[in-house]
Amino acid sequence: MTTTTTELTGGGAAPDAAAPPAAKTRRGGGGLGSYLLVRFLLIFPTIFILVTTVFVLMRLTGDPITAAQGGRLPAAELAARIKEAGYDRPILVQYWEYLTGVFTGDFGTAISDGREVTAMLTSFGAATLELAVYALIVAFVVGIPLGRLAAYLRDRWPDAVLRVFAILCYATPVFFAGLVLKLVFAVNLGWLPVAGRASTGAEIQLQTLESRTGIYLIDAIRLGDGEVISDVLEHAVLPAIALGLLTAGVFLRLVRTNVISTLGTGYVEAARSRGVSERRLLRKHAYRPALIPIVTVIGLQIALLLGGAVLTETTFEWKGLGFQLVEYLQARDFVAVQGIVVLAAVIVALVNFVVDVIAALIDPRVRY
């Protein structure tokens, strides 16, 4: 009975600390510095757990070489190659090696095309980054003003239309949105290119550039050729819309709900009673605080965006990590797949950290 009582009293503080678990041990009233430190240290267990999970899952079925070449090579040669690559050693040794490799930035060599996984990640990562940034721009430009509008016209017909639009954004798989956009704007109307990141001519011109960033728009601007720039942008429109609308729906709903709830708070009521106009209330008082949660939600959106990027890239043959992931999956190249998935884990952990830091800087209540 004594143990349960201590549990009970201990449980009293638990709900507050429930969200970020390891921060629980910190006493209240800590400064920004200690909060950031704890938050930073939390990145490592997160990445560690994800890397371990991925490693264990991928290796449950056996070694990568059998997965990729099994059935195609004679058994003796297969065994020789497994031995050569070191996959016959105890799994814990391999795990340790992989873990140390990951932390020094070495992800091994892809089995199907023999490329260094790290080099593959950086070159295709640039393409995915470019797409993600475009998509985020679309999401901001579409989601935030519309969410504000919906909150302003709450429970009237535009609100209903916008809410259904937001749900439709979520309900439409990105690849289907992509297919429809392609069908209408690329095939039927012929306004925009069907697929790819640039037309062949532009690609060749971009290849001539020294020390390319891999982000086509930046490269095109450095090239200084107007035609190449517009070509690159034209190719980006449909993928960016397909992927961006997915997140736009989330932003719309979030801004709407937050603006509605801030419109009901005491300080807005106070301003209203002082005779501040509704329009000004929305613009000056209710809107800005409602944007803070967006910052935190972006952290979770990155995960959605990365998942969506895989599908968008496949739909539009956008040669980024997602497109490459599917290629490697078809080749059953587990080393490369593992590299991409681990990179995604690292990105998610880092973005969430940055987002938490920004949230703490904006809103002092977050630090504790």
Partner 1 sequence: MATVATPGTSTATSSERRPRGWRGLPVVRQVRQSVGLQRGMLVTGLVLTGIFLLTALLAPLLAPYEYSQLRDPSGPFGAQQPPSSEHLLGTTVGGYDVLSRVIWGSRTALLVIVAAVAMSIVLGVLLGLVSGYFGGWLDRVLVVIADAIYAFPSLLLAIVVGIVLNGGESSLAGGIMAAAISITVIFVPQYLRVVRAETVRIKAEAYVESARVIGAGHWRIMSRHVFRNATRTLPLILTLNASEAILTLAGLGFLGFGIEPTAASEWGYDLQKSLSDVTSGIWWTSLFPGLAIVLVVLGLTLVGESLNDLADPRLRVRRRGGTSPADVAGTSVVPAAAAVPTDREPVKEAGL
Q: Is 91 a binder of partner 1 (CB under 8 A)? A: no
Contact status, residue 144 vs residue 249, Cβ threshold 8 Å: no
Rounded to 5 degrees, what are φ and ψ at 116? -65, 125
Q: Which of 242, 282, 349, 366 binds partner 1 (CB under 8 A)?
A: 349
Closest to partner 1 by CB, 117 or 345: 345
Closest to partner 1 by CB, 35 or 228: 35
Q: Is 109 a binder of partner 1 (CB under 8 A)? A: no
Q: Is 195 a binder of partner 1 (CB under 8 A)? A: yes
- Please work out the total of residues on this chain that contact partner 1, with binding judged by CB under 8 A: 73
Q: Is 190 a binder of partner 1 (CB under 8 A)? A: no
In Å, how far are 160, 205, 221, 334 from 117, measured between CA atoms?
Answer: 48, 26, 29, 11
Nearest to 170 by CA among 226, 96, 113, 251: 251
Q: Is 168 a binder of partner 1 (CB under 8 A)? A: yes
The C-alpha R_g of the chain, in whole angstroms, comes to: 25
Question: Cα separation of 10 and 8, whole Å?
Answer: 5
Contact status, residue 251 vs residue 140, Cβ threshold 8 Å: yes
Residue 347 C-beta: closest distance to partner 1, Å: 9
Question: Cα separation of 351 and 123, whole Å?
Answer: 20
Closest to partner 1 by CB, 220 or 286: 286
Closest to partner 1 by CB, 215 or 326: 326
Q: Is 261 a binder of partner 1 (CB under 8 A)? A: yes
Contact characters 38-77, partner 1, x per CB under 8 A? -------xx--xx--xx--xx-xx----------------
Residue 203 burial by CB count (10 A; 0-12/13-18/19+): exposed, middle or buried? middle
Closest to partner 1 by CB, 129 or 221: 129
Contact characters 110-149, partner 1, x per CB under 8 A? ----------------------------------------
Closest to partner 1 by CB, 73 or 303: 303
Q: Is 158 a binder of partner 1 (CB under 8 A)? A: no
Q: Is 12 a binder of partner 1 (CB under 8 A)? A: yes
**Tokens 């935030």 appear where?**
144
- Give the relative orientation of helices 226-263 and 200-208 as an angle to the nearest 10 degrees: 100
Nearest to 129 by CA among 137, 205, 223: 137
Residue 311 C-beta: closest distance to partner 1, Å: 6
Q: Is 187 a binder of partner 1 (CB under 8 A)? A: yes
One-letter identity of residue 202: A
Closest to partner 1 by CB, 24 or 280: 24
Residue 246 C-beta: closest distance to partner 1, Å: 10
Stretch that binds partner 1, among 83-91, 115-123, 158-166, 273-281 (CB under 8 A): 158-166
Phi-psi sector, 224: left (phi>0), alpha (psi -120 to 50), beta: left
Could you tell me the two tokens for 47? 């990445």
Contact status, residue 322 vs residue 313, Cβ threshold 8 Å: yes
Stretch that binds partner 1, among 84-92, 103-111, 180-188, 232-240 (CB under 8 A): 180-188
Could you tell me the two tokens for 146? 């519309």
**Tokens 């690609």 appear where?**
203
Residue 36 C-beta: closest distance to partner 1, Å: 18
The residues in 304-323 that bind partner 1, with binding defined as CB under 8 A, are 304, 306-308, 310-311, 314-315
